[in-house]
Structure 1
Amino acid sequence: MNDRLRFMFNRISERLWVKPLLSCVLSILWVFVAKMADYTGLAAIVPSITPDSIETLLSIISSSMLVIATFAVASMVSAYASASSTATPRTFALVIADDRSQNALSAFISAFIFSIVALIALQNGYYGKTGYFALFILTLLVFAIVIITFVRWVDSIARLGRLGSTVHKAEKAAATALQRRRCSPTLRGIAVTPLEPGAQAVFSEHIGYVQIVDLAALQALAEKSRLHISLTCLPGSFIGPGRPLAQVVPDPESGTLPPDSAAEPWDGAEIAAAFRVQAERTFDEDPRFGLIVLAEIASRALSPAVNDPGTAIDVIGSLVRLFALWATPVGDDERCSTLYDRIGVPTLALQDLFDDAFDPIARDGAANLEVAIRLQKAFESLATTGHAEMQRISLEHARRALARAEQELRFEPDRLRLRQLADRLSSG
């Protein structure tokens, strides 16, 4: 799927009204689909269904579904508030995009709309014998869907917004972004090369975070105007006054900026329009954001007000899995080919990923022996992945975490135990 389409689809999935609206339209169509059965000529073979029996079922659905839908909304809002208060507000987008909750709300509201519209049609003699039978079958089907959805949703809502579920969602979002970037470090562009003299910077009119870059649009502009465009930021970068989005250089034969008469003039505003800059970061194209959110969850758990080192230890386990994924060699079937040969894209720095993930935990958990030990074991695991750069950075972070802990731990045997663990890592 095109990156921009996937990004827009994910933003739509975060809107709570979209699925209920679509399901309501579908439920109204079902009422008229039942009428089409009257034109099939099956009246002689279908059993006779009395309108009163259908009306009774529809009345039960209409009187109960609105109450259940209201209860569902209240439960979901409570879960969203819980996720923001127990984890971090940055996880709100992950929780609200939960498919099972949205599907349940859609089923309840659409069942209510279906029952109301069907009752109106039924009481006005809209159906014939075959239509009554078709409406009866559809009503039973709606009834079954509502019951099954409710039972499944009760199990889901009991977990939605809980800290463990939120950590899992954040890890999954980070893993998806890391996997995509692992297979295409330059987002299907080319590696950034040193800029030639005369490069011209392109700036944004907006201040905020880059959410996505439309590389296909940039490639088309570059081909049309015979340019090479080097990105100076990635999704997740904060763009403020004076920080360029990209640097533009002409093809060597063009000679000057803007390009010569052989190429169409280029407009910096068109290039800037390919960068979506908003006030908030998103998980889709920003692997660092997922790591930052996980680190925030761990830091909050380690605060004196919460004092939950177990959650921090769970987050460290999530981070180890994510970095192990990053260290996995990319197979030929996973590697993405270059599509944008005129767009230079910088790669993610592994050092930055480690700093985002582990520095907050090492700082806030320095006084907790269990967290400090788990950090050393995490770095030991990552140092043995076979990734040379990851081994070097893991050893560096292990030394830094040890130095922080030695300053905070007051009990000498605790410091000695931690030093022994760190020595084993450095000697290994």
Structure 2
Amino acid sequence: MEDKIRFFLSRTAERLWVKPLIVCLISVLVAFVAQLFDQLALVQNVPDVKTESITMLLKIISASMLVMAVFAVGTMLAAYQSASSSATPRAFTLVVSDDVSQNALSTFIGAFIFSIVSQVALINGYYEKAGKFVLFIITIIVFVIVIMGFIKWVDSIARLGRLSTTIAKVEKATADALNRRAEKPYLGGTKADQRKEGVPVYGHTVGYIQRLDMDLLQETAEREEFLVEIAVLPGTFVTLSQPLAFIRGGENMDKGIQNNAITNAFIIDKHRTFDDDPRFGLITLSEIASRALSPAVNDPGTAIEIIGIYVRLFTIFAQQPDVGKQTGVDYDRVAVPELAISDLFEDAMNAIARDGAGTIEVVIRHLKALRTFASFDNEDIKNAAIETASIVMSHAEQALKTPAEIAKLQAVSQRVRTED
């Protein structure tokens, strides 16, 4: 259930209309709540606030907030365009999910709706003495919220869309996905032996797997008394001819019903997401580095920064106390394949090895990072680092023409192989 809620909230945050709609409904509700105080005898001795003063404040809000909302949308769109062009379009969803910008836009629109509804109610005599006083207090609070929200938003929008901010967002999303996978390498199920035996189950949609509903898989497997072996992990592009899972046992089950139940457990859409797909985060960072290394941009510093991020990510991943060792099994009838370390390194390192081969400072930083990985007390990471170092050197030897530079790189590469 926790995974379902997290996935739902992540998808909701990517839609700009959700928060403004919720705030608009709250604004309408607040405007009418003030009238309830007219029915309480305890508040009849409140100060008498003139209708004209409240109307003046509400007119100021209504006249300015719509303009501010339009300005906010335009600024956010410019930031989104900057993020897509300077980093990679794959990071767009993370930039859109920025809470500060969404909260500011929601505040401006909500304040506008509140002022319009309150003015109409006020003109038609909806409020009495206590209601007018409460409405006045609420209006002052709305002013304060708008001002504080605007100040915070201005500070945030100055950074939103900048390359460094986008990189930080991708790093955080990738780190979160890697940590969740380190804690549950088999997504709470058992380890799949990858024999791919049994009755195959095929999907009805072509696209990327965004999430596996492990609860539904376990429930179906228990009801029909069979075992499910997952064939594809989140992030995999699947077609109609590619099995999603294999079923073992359950000779008396209704195949049509169980196939639909298992297929429905695979959330498939047109795009990959960061939540349960750590490889997508690594690929996105790699794309940012590759764009920085292109002749049109020529920014090796960004590529070096990305390599440093990889060192942080894999270090945190390797330091998890139970990495690769799931402490408990929540779904004993569902077997899930392990995420291969070699695939993670391929997603993260190969593009930088190819595109940065002609820049010696990038190659040296790359090899030094791999030397760090080779020192980890993890055989899979160590072997992947040594293999990647060979790929880096192969590209560099083809791109670099100076013997002194190649000799220097070979010395660094040798230390990767001999690192204890």
Structure 1 and Structure 2 fold alike (TM over 0.5) = yes
- Greater shift in the superposed pair: 391-400 or 352-361: 391-400
- Greater shift in the superposed pair: 62-71 or 317-326: 317-326
1:26 to 2:26 alignment: yes
| 8 Å contact from structure 2 (residues 68, 108) kept in 1 | yes
Which residue does the alignment assign to 2:264? 273
1:416 Cα deviation from its structure 2 partner: 2.2
Which residue does the alignment assign to 1:233? 232
Which residue does the alignment assign to 2:246? 247
Which residue does the alignment assign to 1:216? 215
| 8 Å contact from structure 1 (residues 43, 129) kept in 2 | no
SS in 1 for 2:246: strand
Which residue does the alignment assign to 1:98? 98
Distance 1:145 1:385 in 2: 50
Which residue does the alignment assign to 1:297? 288
Which residue does the alignment assign to 2:274? 283
1:320 Cα deviation from its structure 2 partner: 1.1
1:165 to 2:156 alignment: no
Is the alpha carbon distance of 1:196 and 1:18 closer, same or farther for their aligned partners in structure 2, counting shifts above 3 Å?
A: closer
1:172 Cα deviation from its structure 2 partner: 0.6
Distance 2:27 2:15 in 1: 20
1:43 Cα deviation from its structure 2 partner: 4.2
Distance 2:265 2:129 in 1: 58
Which residue does the alignment assign to 1:364? 355
Question: What are the superposed Cα offsets for residues 175-231 of structure 1, whole Å, 9 maximum, x if unpaired?
Answer: 11111110000000001135486x111111211111111111111111111111101
Question: What are the superposed Cα offsets for residues 319-375 of structure 1, whole Å, 9 maximum, x if unpaired?
Answer: 11111111013259x965211111110010000000000000010000011110110
Distance 2:112 2:281 in 1: 38
User: TM-score, normalization: structure 1?
Assistant: 0.94
Distance 1:191 1:285 in 2: 17
Distance 1:57 1:311 in 2: 49
Distance 1:143 1:2 in 2: 37
SS in 1 for 2:171: helix
Which residue does the alignment assign to 1:150? 150
| 8 Å contact from structure 1 (residues 221, 271) kept in 2 | yes
| 8 Å contact from structure 1 (residues 42, 130) kept in 2 | no
SS in 1 for 2:186: coil
SS in 2 for 1:211: strand
Q: Determine which of 342, 366, 376 is the counterpart of 1:385.
A: 376
Distance 1:88 1:194 in 2: 34
Question: What are the superposed Cα offsets for residues 224-261 of structure 1, whole Å, 9 maximum, x if unpaired?
Answer: 111111010000111124210001110xxx6xxxx23x
| 8 Å contact from structure 2 (residues 183, 320) kept in 1 | no
When the two structures are aligned, how many residues end up with a matched partner?
417
Distance 1:231 1:78 in 2: 42
Which residue does the alignment assign to 1:37? 37
| 8 Å contact from structure 2 (residues 196, 229) kept in 1 | no
Q: Determine which of 312, 315, 337 is the counterpart of 1:321.
A: 312
| 8 Å contact from structure 2 (residues 193, 337) kept in 1 | no
Distance 2:240 2:298 in 1: 40
Is the alpha carbon distance of 1:72 and 1:194 closer, same or farther for their aligned partners in structure 2, counting shifts above 3 Å?
A: closer
| 8 Å contact from structure 1 (residues 196, 249) kept in 2 | no
SS in 2 for 1:112: helix
Query: Gaps (5+ residues) in structure 1?
Result: none
Distance 1:419 1:274 in 2: 49
User: TM-score, normalization: structure 2?
Assistant: 0.96
| 8 Å contact from structure 2 (residues 211, 267) kept in 1 | yes
1:407 to 2:398 alignment: yes
Question: What are the superposed Cα offsets for residues 255-298 of structure 1, whole Å, 9 maximum, x if unpaired?
Answer: xxxx23xx665532221111111111111111100000000110
How much identity, in percent, do the aligned residues show?
48
Which residue does the alignment assign to 1:394? 385
Is the alpha carbon distance of 1:360 and 1:337 closer, same or farther for their aligned partners in structure 2, counting shifts above 3 Å?
A: same
Which residue does the alignment assign to 2:175? 175
Q: Determine which of 402, 408, 411 is the counterpart of 1:417.
A: 408
SS in 2 for 1:330: coil
| 8 Å contact from structure 2 (residues 44, 129) kept in 1 | no
Distance 1:87 1:106 in 2: 27
| 8 Å contact from structure 2 (residues 55, 119) kept in 1 | yes
Which residue does the alignment assign to 1:77? 77
- Greater shift in the superposed pair: 34-43 or 108-117: 34-43
Question: What are the superposed Cα offsets for residues 163-184 of structure 1, whole Å, 9 maximum, x if unpaired?
Answer: 1111111111111111111000
SS in 2 for 1:212: strand
Question: What are the superposed Cα offsets for residues 358-396 of structure 1, whole Å, 9 maximum, x if unpaired?
Answer: 000010000011110110111112222322221221122
SS in 2 for 1:42: helix
Is the alpha carbon distance of 1:273 and 1:48 closer, same or farther for their aligned partners in structure 2, counting shifts above 3 Å?
A: same
Which residue does the alignment assign to 1:54? 54
Letter in 1 for 2:115: S
| 8 Å contact from structure 1 (residues 4, 212) kept in 2 | no
Is the alpha carbon distance of 1:167 and 1:226 closer, same or farther for their aligned partners in structure 2, counting shifts above 3 Å?
A: same
Distance 1:363 1:331 in 2: 33
Is the alpha carbon distance of 1:196 and 1:355 closer, same or farther for their aligned partners in structure 2, counting shifts above 3 Å?
A: closer
Distance 1:329 1:82 in 2: 35
| 8 Å contact from structure 1 (residues 367, 409) kept in 2 | yes
